[in-house]
Structure 1
Amino acid sequence: MPLETPARIVRELTSRGYNADREAVTLLANAPDPNGALNEVVESAPEHALKISVEHVRNVLDSASSESASSKSASSASSQSKNGAVSARGNSSVSTGTENTKSSVQEVTSPVETGGSVSRNEALQSVGIEGDVTGQSTGTGEYDDFVTVFRDRFQRLSGQLRGRVNARPTNAVASMPGGSDAAMVGMISDIRSTASGHWLVELEDTNGTFPCLIMKDKEFASVVNELLLDETIAVEGTLSSDAGILFVDSLHFPDVPRTYKPSTADRHVQAALISDVHVGSQEFMADAWSRFTSWLHTEEAEHVEYLLIAGDMVEGVGIYPNQDEELDIIDIFEQYEKFSEYLKEVPGDMEIVMIPGNHDAVRLAEPQPGFDEELRDIMDVHDARITGNPSTVTVEGVSVLMYHGVSLDEVIAEMPEEKASYEEPHKAMYQLLKKRHVAPQYGGHTRVAPEEKDYLVIDEVPDIFHTGHVHKLGFGKYHNVLAMNSGCWQAQTDFQKSVNIDPDSGFAPIVDLDTLDVTVRKFA
């Protein structure tokens, strides 16, 4: 494929193991024969060079005639053909794609000889990004900012619920006669049990608050264990004789429709979903990472055209007590430089999308903007797409909601184990889909930054929900949405031992975008 853009020149250099100065890339892009010039630059590069300099490119361009450049391009094309670029192969193992999604787990225990990178179809690759707060943040932390973001949350989530119930504002319900049937939509401001074992849930809207009683003998009473403060629900029931309380007969979440039909790609193409690389930690699994990236260069991975990384590229600094004792690289910028080196091992023709996590060098409060220009410059070797946390990434027509997942800790802590646990992190993700918000509870572990709108609301149902953070592998389908928590690339640290975290390390879930089937590959 012609190298008509700087981005493709960067990808080609990366696939051959080189970084380059930006001016060097520009010179190559503007050369009469970019292919020939790039090949000559690479072939004449110093033996141990990792970066192509401007001076080297200028020397090559100045000394090469048009005839020799053309000859060199033809020679390179012949060489690449002999090295075995492969354009077709049999299908890899996939799961059944049933409601209870099962994976085929395949283990790679030693580095794979690549024999040259396979050929991917860059012309068909398609990526779109929505819901990115990067460059859009307006919050100052003032009281009015918090009022604005919670009003926006309520309006958008209540809009999803009002089509299901004939809801009235709290002040209108309060003026109704006792014994009337009533319905309302509200944000949960309080949950408490009564002396008789019933549940009193206080709902708040923009007009006031109203108490709702859920009797313990109701069929749906068990869902009270799923309720979180600040989430938005709808209730229907009957007012007490004095109209001071609503006896709840039914309760509704914004939820994903049970009949939801996800979109799929119109060709056989795959995406690797990973997270929590943690470069800089003493426990970063460099060997497993190299086995993974070596596998990406093989025929078996020919259809893996996308790599989606859900945060925590590096271990960071000062994230938890005594973290410095567990660091292999103590400088945060050096951590990103090393991560960039590892990223160069990924085939240059793969599309990469990255969001930050709580260990990354961005603000902790969500939504998190993407990395600043200094860090983007460090990680520009692969022309990766960097977006905020959360963001919705559309790949080949398949929408992927990428969220690092800090709120999963809160969901797991608040709910019974059968509904949310670290051993089955996808069940906690089901709860976020049900509530249509990635961080519904305010004031706990999850820090929230007030913006003009709530970037954490799930307005549109995604086809795939991808998270990380908890270092556990788990996935399944909730109302046909594939929920995937992708594990990590860090072995157990002393800190994780102290808080009883046993990570699932060195796994790479591979999703068929045309079927949403999953194959999990193990590289550790």
Structure 2
Amino acid sequence: MPLETPARIVSELASRGYNAEREAVTRIADAPDPAATLDRALETVPDDALKLTTDHVDSVIEATETARSDPKAESGSTPASQADAAASADHDPSVSTGTTPGSSAVEGGTVPHETEGSRDVDTSLRAIEVANDMTGQSTGTGEYSDFVTVFRDRYEKLASKLRGRVNHRPTDAIESMAGGSEAALIGMVSDIRSTASGHWLVELEDTNGTFPCLVMKDRPIADLVQQLLMDEVIAVEGTLADDAGILFVDSLHFPDVPRTHKPSTADRHVQAALISDVHVGSQEFMEDAWRRFTDWLHTPEAEHVEYLLIAGDMVEGVGVYPEQDKELDIIDIYDQYEAFSEYLKEVPGDMEIRMIPGNHDAVRLAEPQPGFDEELRDIMTAHDAQVHSNPALITVEGVTVLMYHGVSLDEVIAELPDEEANYDEPHKAMYQLLKKRHVAPQYGGHTRLAPEDRDYLVMEEVPDVFHTGHVHKIGWGEYHNVLALNSGCWQAQTDFQKSVNIDPDAGFAPILDLDTLDMTVRKFT
């Protein structure tokens, strides 16, 4: 395989069970013969090293150049022996194990086969597909027509999931019906207000107009009105008033996940680590916990963990909230991504890594968020990690995982009653999004939404797993057989979080069995 790019060199190193310092990869790529330089560097690397250092690669290149210019160099030593001597003097212990020279990450004093990065994993058994990735597909210009297009698309997609449940009539047809008639309407919530008598008036809009719907306060469905968000699509059934000017609602329906949903599972025992909110660059990034996690990934106990799915906020970012600069350990955004890439090298080289951006990452804030641009992708070369858009639908060996960073969870928690959505149980807010079949239904609030040629935020397909982050809290549960998981973070409490009363769940790694959808949450703090 040609090794003319750093990404291919990283991939080749990973296939042989090694990591490398970023500058070491650059030196190999710039060498006259990258393939030969890589082979020589690996031939002469110390037995207990898992990572090629820049000093070691420099010694190999220097020795090779010396041999070419003077085959009988003054010491009479070979390039290999010169490189060995340099490595002996300058060797930096592996950051993957966190060990010092002569020690081992595993009791017994010998470095296990897994720690070398080769875990006897048959990568040919892997299967991964990505849908709904809008990276490179953005068409929105911000014109009024773009907003009309995206909201029409939302309405049609969600209305199609409700038409089989009610005998829908468009608003203009209902307006012409006689008073006292039974009617059903599918519409987008355009207004919610209470009357002087304490009843609820909900205005629904379809592609033909709007129609007022009244939910009486003494009806059991009145509690459902408190779960409504603006701009979501629902269906109602009821009876028209005598003057046919309003619909008295008897039943209310959400697009929802069918109760009959049966999740898919993998055909073999294989696991995925689902994490989010690493926040490299923050003074509160929990480096020790991260290293304990990556050390664990090299142990026999983690031999079946072949996938790493990261739901956004890989770095802390710059200028995300007021006076954030006072809490930064790395003040340059590109340096933050370079540091994150180095930390990512600590995971086993044979792992498949998929990521989406979050609101701290260097992409637009409006959702859907595209994956990183080429400049950031060139920095993020570790293990050939792939960055998709937020949200994205990733099918891992038959198991469909909807990855969404989760900014809209703030809005859901703020708008709905505590028993329906709160920060201590973030999965309950996720249940609401599954019920609405949309990851960010409300436009014009806290969550910024971008108009595209279609609504990428609709849950057209029911996922088997719904994975979010953002709120820095651990929470998981099942909703109509869909596993909803918010995966916590790797950042200790910041001053800003203290000011808004956020007590993060940090240093946790949920491990999902893809063959059973059972989950174990491991703590590394």
TM-score by length of 1: 0.85
Partner of 1:9: 12
Structure 1 regions of 5+ residues with no counterpart?
A: 69-110
When residues 125 and 177 of structure 1 are mapped into structure 2, their CA distance, relative to the original with a 3 A threshold, is: same
**Which one-letter code corresponds to 1:215 in the other structure?**
M
Q: Contact 2:20/2:53 (CA < 8 Å) preserved in 1? A: no
**Which one-letter code corresponds to 1:280 in the other structure?**
G
Provide the secondary structure at the position in 2 that maps to 1:417: coil
When residues 437 and 326 of structure 1 are mapped into structure 2, their CA distance, relative to the original with a 3 A threshold, is: same
Partner of 2:323: 322
**Which one-letter code corresponds to 1:186 in the other structure?**
G
Q: Distance in 2 between matches of 1:325 and 1:270?
A: 39
Partner of 1:93: none
Report deviation, 1:43: 5.9
Report deviation, 1:17: 3.8
Residue by residue, what CA displacement relative to the aligned partner does 1:356-399 show, whole Å, maximum 9, x if unpaired? 00000000000000011111111112100110000001101100
When residues 178 and 293 of structure 1 are mapped into structure 2, their CA distance, relative to the original with a 3 A threshold, is: same
Q: Contact 1:178/1:241 (CA < 8 Å) preserved in 2? A: yes
Q: Distance in 2 between matches of 1:282 and 1:14?
A: 31
- Which of structures 1 and 2 has the larger relative contact order (alpha carbons within 8 angstroms, sep 6+)? 1
Q: Contact 2:9/2:25 (CA < 8 Å) preserved in 1? A: no
Q: Contact 1:9/1:29 (CA < 8 Å) preserved in 2? A: no
Which of the numbers 39, 43, 56 marks the counterpart of 1:40?
43
**Correspondence 1:452 to 2:457:** no
**Which one-letter code corresponds to 2:457 in the other structure?**
L
Q: Contact 1:275/1:486 (CA < 8 Å) preserved in 2? A: yes
When residues 414 and 349 of structure 1 are mapped into structure 2, their CA distance, relative to the original with a 3 A threshold, is: same
**Correspondence 1:180 to 2:181:** yes
Structure 2 regions of 5+ residues with no counterpart?
A: 69-77, 79-103
Q: Distance in 1 between matches of 2:366 and 2:52?
A: 45
Partner of 1:135: 136
Q: Distance in 2 between matches of 1:402 and 1:28?
A: 42
Residue by residue, what CA displacement relative to the aligned partner does 1:438-470 show, whole Å, maximum 9, x if unpaired? 000000000001000000000000000000000
Correspondences of 1:392-431 after superposition (within 5 Å):
392-431=393-432
Provide the secondary structure at the position in 2 that maps to 1:423: coil
Q: Contact 2:40/2:60 (CA < 8 Å) preserved in 1? A: no
Q: Distance in 2 between matches of 1:168 and 1:198?
A: 24
Q: Distance in 2 between matches of 1:249 and 1:405?
A: 33
Q: Distance in 2 between matches of 1:381 and 1:53?
A: 20
**Which one-letter code corresponds to 1:11 in the other structure?**
A
Q: Distance in 2 between matches of 1:29 and 1:431?
A: 57
What is the aligned-residue RMSD (CA, Å)? 2.8
Report deviation, 1:53: 7.6
**Correspondence 1:335 to 2:336:** yes
Partner of 2:153: 152
When residues 340 and 304 of structure 1 are mapped into structure 2, their CA distance, relative to the original with a 3 A threshold, is: same
**Correspondence 1:252 to 2:257:** no
Q: Distance in 2 between matches of 1:452 and 1:210?
A: 27
Report deviation, 1:22: 7.2
**Which one-letter code corresponds to 2:349 in the other structure?**
G
Q: Distance in 2 between matches of 1:433 and 1:58?
A: 61
Q: Distance in 1 between matches of 2:32 and 2:435?
A: 51
Partner of 1:97: none
The structure having more radius of gyration, on CA atoms, is 2
Q: Count residues in correspondence.
A: 474
Partner of 1:49: 54
Q: Contact 1:393/1:401 (CA < 8 Å) preserved in 2? A: yes
Report deviation, 1:123: 1.5
Q: Distance in 2 between matches of 1:132 and 1:356?
A: 12
Q: Distance in 1 between matches of 2:32 and 2:59?
A: 10
When residues 474 and 372 of structure 1 are mapped into structure 2, their CA distance, relative to the original with a 3 A threshold, is: same
When residues 380 and 198 of structure 1 are mapped into structure 2, their CA distance, relative to the original with a 3 A threshold, is: same
Q: Distance in 2 between matches of 1:396 and 1:433?
A: 22
Partner of 1:165: 166
Report deviation, 1:36: 5.9
Correspondences of 1:44-443 after superposition (within 5 Å):
48-49=53-54, 56=61, 59=64, 112-113=105-106, 115=112, 116=115, 117=117, 118-443=119-444
**Which one-letter code corresponds to 1:313 in the other structure?**
M
When residues 195 and 428 of structure 1 are mapped into structure 2, their CA distance, relative to the original with a 3 A threshold, is: same
Q: Contact 2:412/2:421 (CA < 8 Å) preserved in 1? A: yes
Q: Contact 1:366/1:447 (CA < 8 Å) preserved in 2? A: yes
When residues 164 and 7 of structure 1 are mapped into structure 2, their CA distance, relative to the original with a 3 A threshold, is: farther
Report deviation, 1:28: 12
Provide the secondary structure at the position in 1 that maps to 2:160: helix
Partner of 1:92: none
Residue by residue, what CA displacement relative to the aligned partner does 1:409-433 show, whole Å, maximum 9, x if unpaired? 0000001111000000000000000
Partner of 1:76: none
Report deviation, 1:52: 5.4
Q: Distance in 1 between matches of 2:30 and 2:44?
A: 13
**Which one-letter code corresponds to 1:311 in the other structure?**
G
Q: Contact 2:31/2:61 (CA < 8 Å) preserved in 1? A: no
Deviates more, 1:425-434 or 1:111-120: 111-120
Q: Distance in 2 between matches of 1:174 and 1:16?
A: 68
Q: Contact 1:21/1:54 (CA < 8 Å) preserved in 2? A: no
Q: Distance in 1 between matches of 2:283 and 2:312?
A: 18
Q: Distance in 1 between matches of 2:464 and 2:32?
A: 40
Report deviation, 1:309: 0.3
Q: Distance in 2 between matches of 1:388 and 1:29?
A: 36
Residue by residue, what CA displacement relative to the aligned partner does 1:210-263 show, whole Å, maximum 9, x if unpaired? 000111111221111100000000011110111000011111100000110000
Partner of 2:91: none
Q: Contact 1:28/1:38 (CA < 8 Å) preserved in 2? A: no
Provide the secondary structure at the position in 2 that maps to 1:483: strand
TM-score by length of 2: 0.85
Sequence identity percentage: 70
When residues 54 and 168 of structure 1 are mapped into structure 2, their CA distance, relative to the original with a 3 A threshold, is: farther
When residues 177 and 375 of structure 1 are mapped into structure 2, their CA distance, relative to the original with a 3 A threshold, is: same
Report deviation, 1:25: 6.4
Provide the secondary structure at the position in 2 that maps to 1:235: strand
When residues 239 and 381 of structure 1 are mapped into structure 2, their CA distance, relative to the original with a 3 A threshold, is: same
Q: Distance in 1 between matches of 2:325 and 2:503?
A: 21
